[in-house]
């Protein structure tokens, strides 16, 4: 079965060296299976109701929020499926070469169409006509050669293609929300499984600057005090318990390492396992140590931090930052891969299979929404 893809965009495909008001560039596709002519007929009905004999365009709707909401609600009723690539232009490295208009445009559309295609060959693409004929012919060759193996790709005038007009409205609405011109709740009119917004580039949090390190040093004493108080309260509460003997042994070892230097020292998990074995003649793997000893201690409020160097009781604010950075380097990419898998399933099923619905996996769903950027666009 062939898939029909109608593509339009919103914003200027140009990266300026100075900040501009139009910081976002959005490419949107309305996607339908070829055996659903009723959806294309419904697109014509939406356009006729909201634009009469004219053309339905986001720019004509403008800042009329009530009208835009009415249009989006009508679109949602027909369960059209949309995919948007949301580009924040100021996040693009100026020396990369991508900021040049032609390169930027072709690179992003190649990225966009690779998402649309996802292994399919029976994809028919219709793109809104713009620019000179020479540019369009060159761009068409570029897409065919690099995104590859589309069944067909053609340009059309949006006035003649109602589906292109709906893509235009969605692209414009996404950009207006991204730029803060309309409230975030606007896109919540469309069910989350019918509008995928992927953000590019994704920039992970950077390391602390020297200024950050200096500012955080004033919290070092507070961090150390919190660690010691947490340990003291745990020991006092559990000193007579036989069930927590191994946990108390681990805390004793970590306390010793904290007192060895001003900022404390890390202790490798393998050394902790060896100490437990020496004292209690029990074999313990690093995995069991992490899940059965360190995790319950953390659940009890003990601020044990970890890096590639091992684990420790934090003595400085930098220890806390290092712990968060390590956790982020593991958790964030994993959740983003889950988000990519969810998007793939949504694209292939036209929004029918959502493996991360908020009622089945609420915590995971919130993480995916936050890390994919959708929460920034759709949360109230």
Name the 3-class secondary structure at 172.
Answer: helix
Instruction: Please tell me the distance from the alpha carbon of residue 377 to that of residue 188, in angstroms, as a whole number.
Output: 8
261 and 186 co-located in one domain: no
Q: Using an 8 Å Cβ cutoff, are 39 and 6 in contact?
A: no
186 and 266 co-located in one domain: no
Would you say residue 32 lies in a domain? yes
In order, the DSSP letters of 8-57 are EEES-S---SS--S--EEEEEEEEEETT-HHHHHHHHHHHHHHHTTS---
Q: What is the per-residue pLDDT for 265?
A: 83
Instruction: Please tell me the distance from the alpha carbon of residue 172 to that of residue 371, in angstroms, as a whole number.
Output: 22
Q: Using an 8 Å Cβ cutoff, are 24 and 89 in contact?
A: yes
Q: Point out the residues of the chain with pLDDT beneath 70.
A: 15-22, 92-103, 118-121, 131-149, 202-216, 242-243, 260-262, 358, 372-380
The pTM score is 0.68
Q: What is the per-residue pLDDT for 100?
A: 58
215 and 105 co-located in one domain: no
159 and 183 co-located in one domain: yes
Would you say residue 136 lies in a domain? yes
68 and 96 co-located in one domain: yes
Instruction: Please tell me the distance from the alpha carbon of residue 128 to that of residue 110, in angstroms, as a whole number.
Output: 16
Domain, as residue range, for 258: 210-315
189 and 226 co-located in one domain: no
195 and 235 co-located in one domain: no
Q: What is the per-residue pLDDT for 206?
A: 45
Q: What is the per-residue pLDDT for 263?
A: 72
What is the number of structural domains in the chain?
Answer: 2
CATH of the domain at 151: 3.30.420.10
Would you say residue 340 lies in a domain? no
Of 333, 332, 334, 356, which is closest to residue 343 (Cα–Cα)? 356
Q: Using an 8 Å Cβ cutoff, are 279 and 249 in contact?
A: yes
């Amino acid at each position: 079965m062939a898939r029909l893809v109608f593509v339009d965009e919103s914003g200027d495909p140009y990266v300026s060296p100075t900040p501009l008001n139009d910081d976002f560039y959005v490419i949107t596709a309305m996607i339908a299976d070829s055996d659903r002519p009723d959806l294309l007929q419904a697109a014509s009905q939406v356009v006729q109701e909201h634009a009469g004999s004219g053309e339905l365009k986001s720019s004509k709707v403008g800042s009329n929020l009530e009208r835009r909401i009415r249009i989006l609600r009508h679109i949602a009723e027909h369960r059209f499926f949309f995919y948007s690539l949301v580009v924040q232009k100021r996040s693009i490295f100026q020396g990369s070469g991508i900021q040049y208009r032609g390169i930027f445009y072709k690179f992003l559309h190649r990225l966009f169409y690779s998402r649309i295609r996802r292994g399919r060959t029976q994809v028919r693409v219709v793109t809104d006509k713009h620019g000179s004929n020479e540019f369009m012919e060159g761009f068409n060759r570029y897409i065919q050669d690099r995104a590859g193996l589309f069944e067909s790709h053609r340009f059309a005038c949006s006035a003649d293609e109602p589906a292109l007009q709906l893509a235009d409205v969605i692209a414009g609405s996404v950009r207006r929300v991204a730029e803060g011109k309309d409230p975030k709740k606007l896109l919540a009119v469309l069910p989350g499984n019918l509008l995928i917004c992927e953000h590019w580039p994704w920039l992970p949090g950077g390391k602390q600057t020297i200024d950050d390190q200096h500012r955080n040093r004033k919290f070092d004493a507070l961090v150390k005090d919190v660690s010691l108080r947490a340990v003291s309260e745990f020991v006092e509460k559990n000193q007579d318990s036989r069930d927590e003997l191994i946990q108390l042994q681990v805390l004793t070892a970590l306390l010793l390492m904290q007192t060895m230097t001003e900022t404390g020292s890390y202790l490798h998990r393998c050394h902790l396992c060896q100490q437990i074995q020496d004292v209690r003649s029990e074999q313990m793997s690093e995995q069991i140590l992490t899940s059965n000893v360190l995790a319950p201690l953390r659940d009890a409020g003990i601020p044990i931090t970890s890096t590639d160097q091992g684990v420790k009781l934090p003595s400085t604010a930098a220890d806390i930052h290092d712990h968060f950075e390590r956790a982020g380097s593991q958790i964030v990419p994993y959740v983003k891969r889950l988000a990519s898998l969810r998007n793939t399933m949504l694209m292939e099923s036209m929004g029918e299979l959502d493996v991360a619905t908020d009622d089945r996996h609420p915590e995971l769903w919130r993480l995916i929404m936050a890390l994919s950027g959708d929460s920034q666009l759709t949360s109230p």
